[in-house]
Amino acid sequence: MIGAVEGPALGGGTGLVANCHIVIASEKATFGLTEIRLGLWPFLVFRPVAAAVGERRTVEMALSGRILDVEEAEKAGLVHEIAPNAVDRALEVAQTIAAYSPTSIRSGMMFLQEARDRSWRDAGELARMVRREIFQSDDFIEGIRAFHEKRKPKWPSLAGGAD
């Protein structure tokens, strides 16, 4: 998921942003866990925000209800890039990613999910297994061929080819 934030993303909005894989924000974007101002705690979004910016910062945000400007959110790791038009820039990033191998992206995102909370040893074993599978994929074969021929790859998985 690629998030484009053009204004306030407060409370649950900050949680949605934290769940994005890439976040592009405009200079007008703001972020914060403001639930405490209403007599509430950000229970539903606490974990994804903590995964994005760290538990200590998330506790501070939740306790203070403070609103972060886009520069502070970028420094904290909630925002990856600041752009004048976040939506246009997010679409550019999405188009770039869409040109890559669907097999590799799917495998990488699966690895991300499956490796979470595993030991280093178990995550390493999973990485070796997924890497072996990618090496045998039609997309990888096409990617290597295209590299050697100095051309853009034509991913078989986009054409409905088998992997």
pLDDT for 84-141, tens place per residue? 999 999 999 999 999 999 999 999 999 998 998 899 999 999 999 999 999 999 999 9
114 in catalytic set: no
d(CA 89, CA 85): 6
How do residues 41-78 score in pLDDT, each as one tens digit?
A: 999 999 999 999 999 999 999 999 999 999 999 999 99
From 27, 35, 92, 142, the catalytic residue: 35
18-39 burial, b for 16+ CB within 10 Å, e for fewer?
A: bbbeebbbbeebbbbbbbbeee
Q: What is the pTM of this model?
A: 0.84
